[in-house]
Amino acid sequence: MRLAEPGATQTRHEVTVARADLGRLAPRATDPTDLVRRSFAFLLRREPPTSILPSFDLTAIGHYFPEYESTIRG
């Protein structure tokens, strides 16, 4: 998934999304793409792309940012 603006620092991330987490965080979704995109937007409002872990499970965001799940579901 490409989210960087032209000329911006580019980073690569591998994100795991369990089916149960997709159902809980985005109940009507059948594909995690939009959830991951919104989750990165959430992260990028709080930290630079170089601070985001290169590989993580989507639920790890909530360990660092307790408001993540309520925000992403809202």
Q: Could you tell me if residue 9 is inside a domain?
A: no
Q: Could you tell me if residue 5 is inside a domain?
A: no
Q: Could you tell me if residue 33 is inside a domain?
A: yes
Provide the domain count of the chain.
1
Q: Could you tell me if residue 3 is inside a domain?
A: no
Query: CA-CA distance, 67 to 28, in Å (whole number)?
Result: 21
The string of pLDDT tens digits covering residues 22-60 is 999 999 999 999 999 999 999 999 999 999 999 999 999
Has residue 4 got a pLDDT over 90?
no
- Pairing mode of beta strands 55-57, 14-16: parallel
Q: Could you tell me if residue 1 is inside a domain?
A: no
Give the confidence band of 3 by pLDDT, cuts at 50, 70, 90.
Answer: low
**What phi and psi, each to the nearest 5 degrees, are found at residue 4?**
-75, 145
Predicted local distance difference test score (pLDDT) of residue 74? 80
Q: Which domain holds residue 42?
A: 14-73
